Structure 1
Amino acid sequence: MKLVADINIPYLKGVFDSYFESIILLPASEITPEIVKDADALVVRTRTFCNADLLEGSAVKFIGSATIGFDHIDTDYCNSRGIEWVNAPGCNSGAVQQWVAAALLQISKSKGISLEGKVLGVTGVGNVGRRIVDLGLALGMRVICCDPPRKREEHLADFVDLKTIAQQSDFITFHVPLSFSGIDATNHMVDSALIETFKDNVVLINSSRGEVIETNSLISAITNKKIVATALDVWENEPNISQELLKLVTFATPHIAGYSVEGKVNGTRMVVDALSKFFNLGIHPWIPIQNPMDRKEIIENPINLVDTVIQTYNIVTDDNSFRKSSIDFEKYRSNYTLRREFSGYRIIRANNSIASTLQKLGFEINTR
């Protein structure tokens, strides 16, 4: 059997050496129809578009994406051809929670906006969105939720529609998949018409997909000060993003919100387990031989919540670095140093005023 995999998927090298006769590890840009023609399985990231152009006439039976999203997989095509496909839902939810926490706290600090009692509108309440709801509550915010599919299927009376999110929220954050059709289409769900209904001085955060927000409408809203602060990790037309928008946003990062040690281990683990089960390899459940999650980072005597979060992840540092190298979007992502999530830290002698909040965010608290 032959396996073709993205070379930038951590911890994957060597896992399948005893099970596949041929294993090809390549950058996403080099995974071509010619390469996959005789492959039995693909293990990819979001940069490999698994559609008819790549797969037609190939021997591919299984596609595993070590990512939370799957809009790069033509699921209808795969289903019609009997190609099994899996993604890794929720694998990096802790990392995205950390990124959003850093964005919220830094915006609060730099703009002098208190988070206490403010309304946080969470649009998309799946694996990631649930973590953001918990984050908002831990920070003393009032949280309202919008997720039309869940509202319909689970009869969630307290969930609101997008119009209500727009009209009532002081902070709005998006955690939706990208979809182009149907009643729940998310492509350009944030356009000039919706932005007109925003409260004045709203803060906008997006770490889902860039196409969720229409770029020109966002540029106008920031320029006209309808939106007082913006944190973006995702952009339309990546990697060729709008330099005009980049100059206007408060904090900008290159689609790395989910780039944590824990997130990458989880994503690889979920795909390895699924591939192993599909081909009956017998190697699940799998963890890296040297599991980086076994070791905890230590933070002693934390002063306050903002500084503690910054010690785990400083969004300002990423923002500054990205602005200097934004034209090398993919290179920045490929060479990004993975960070530890909140759960990867042990807090020693935490101040009682912040210990409870830190614990709610996932930190391990040692009171001694």
Structure 2
Amino acid sequence: MKPLILIFSPLTEAHRAQIAEQYQVLYAPNASSVEAQLAAAQPEVRAVLTNGPIGVQPQAIDAMPKLELICTLGVGYEKVAIEYARSRGIALANGAGTNSDCVADHAMAILLAAVRNVVQYDAAVRNGVWRDRIPWSPNVSGRRLGLLGLGDIGMKIARRAQAFDIEVGYHSRSPRTDVAYGYYSSAQALAHWCDFLVVATPGGAQTRHMVDAAVLDALGPQGFVVNISRGSVVDTAALGQALLENRIAGAALDVYESEPNPPAELVGLPNVVLTPHIAGWSPEAVQNSVNQFLRNAEGHFAGRGPVSPIVGSAAG
């Protein structure tokens, strides 16, 4: 009999059908609450496919005594009960690398939109306003970009930035020995150095509000913040206040603390670009992620182990 897979992450019908060719499928999209996960759980479930923001809770794990594999569709796993699952002997894997090109593309797209004021320029043209009646926007090229996090996504953003003749620096838990980018010992030091602060670090308790009022003040009135990571990394209230008081120049966010609801502190501000946590979503990226899940599941059930196991203890 095919192993039973419980899917918490939203997927298209075509992708569910692809998984169903090899496995029995239970589908409970957006089951982010404990109650919803418990309602979907069944004793025969052997694997769960979820994502970072939804995760899987200990109570749901307990409701599935045959559970032996938890996978996340993307790289993040901040709401997966990692240590609890390990204590139960459950294998863990993620979709590392499957959507990093898509996320890096989107990071540059919203950075360009924010710095070059693309959204307001578009609105101006539609309202019959020509260029001599609106402020000019600064160059993107020739500036400094600071990356909070230099994993796979951060590296790809860095390479794209260099194509714009942008100097790259970074902050992470420890410096890398395989790159020539400048390393800064704190988020605040990096923000003081750069013009564009791009958040590409994992979410979770360890990185919550890493970008706070002090970091924003270090970035300064000509600086821009871009977040394609997790909304929890940026203090939304502090960001709204900094933008309102022109203590930074602008922001471009694909993620925010209030999602899926829009961030009330930011929606009325003209110097903010917002997208709906879609940086990692494209036909190619999601297909890559589904394919990776199938490789992880096949490796696990064949006894070889997942192809992209989670090795950390927490997504922070």
Task: Give TM-score, length-normalised by structure 1.
Answer: 0.69
1:237 Cα deviation after fit: 3.0
- Relative contact order: is structure 1 or structure 2 higher (C-alpha 8 Å, sep ≥ 6)? 2
Q: 2:102 corresponds to which residue?
A: 95
| Count of residues in correspondence between the two structures | 278
5+ residue gaps, structure 2: 118-135, 308-316
For residues 7 and 143 of structure 1, the distance between their equivalents in structure 2, rounded to whole angstroms, comes to: 34
- Asked if 1:69 corresponds to 2:90, the answer is no
User: Where in structure 2 are the equivalents of 1:111-150 lying within 5 Å?
Assistant: 112-149=137-174
Cα pair 2:53 2:78 within 8 Å, conserved: no
Unpaired runs of 5+ residues, structure 1, are: 286-368
Note the C-alpha offset of 1:12: 3.0
1:203 and 1:18 mapped to 2: Cα distance?
46
Amino acid paired to 1:127: D
Give secondary structure in 2 for the equivalent of 1:53: helix
How big is the shift at 1:101? 1.8
Q: Which of 10, 34, 54 is the aligned partner of 1:48?
A: 54
Once the two structures are TM-superposed, the CA of residue 4 in structure 1 deviates from its matched residue by: 1.4
User: 1:37–1:55: 8 Å Cα contact kept in structure 2?
Assistant: no
CA distance in 2, matches of 1:135, 1:263: 18
SS of equivalent to 2:265: helix
Q: Which amino acid aligns with 1:137?
A: Q
Change beyond 3 A, Cα 1:46–1:155? closer
Residues 25/234 of structure 1: CA separation in 2 closer, same or farther (3 Å cut): same
Determine the C-alpha separation between the residues in 2 that align with 1:18 and 1:179: 34
Query: What is the rounded CA distance, in whole Å, between the counterparts of 2:234 and 2:212 in structure 1?
Result: 6
| Percent of pairs with identical residues | 24
2:263 corresponds in structure 1 to: 242
> Using a 3 Å threshold, how does the CA distance of structure 1 residues 213 and 139 change in structure 2: closer, same or farther?
same
Find out whether 1:207 has 2:228 as its counterpart: yes
SS of match in other structure, 1:271: helix
> Would you say 1:82 and 2:54 are equivalent positions?
no
- Indicate the RMSD between aligned Cα atoms, in angstroms: 2.5
The equivalent residue for 1:27 is 29
Residue 25 to residue 192, structure 1, CA distance change in 2 (3 Å): same
CA deviations on 1:51-102 (whole Å, 9 max, x unpaired) are: 2122124221111111121102111111111111111112111111111221
- Tell me how far apart the structure 2 counterparts of residues 112 and 43 of structure 1 sit (CA, whole Å): 44
Render the CA deviation track for 1:113-152: whole Å, top value 9, x for unaligned: 1122111111111010001100110011111121223x17
Assess if the C-alpha contact under 8 Å between 2:254 and 2:278 holds in 1.
yes
Q: In the alignment, is the contact (CA less than 8 A) between 2:51 and 2:76 conserved in 1? A: no
Give 2:281's match in structure 1, choosing from 231, 252, 259: 259
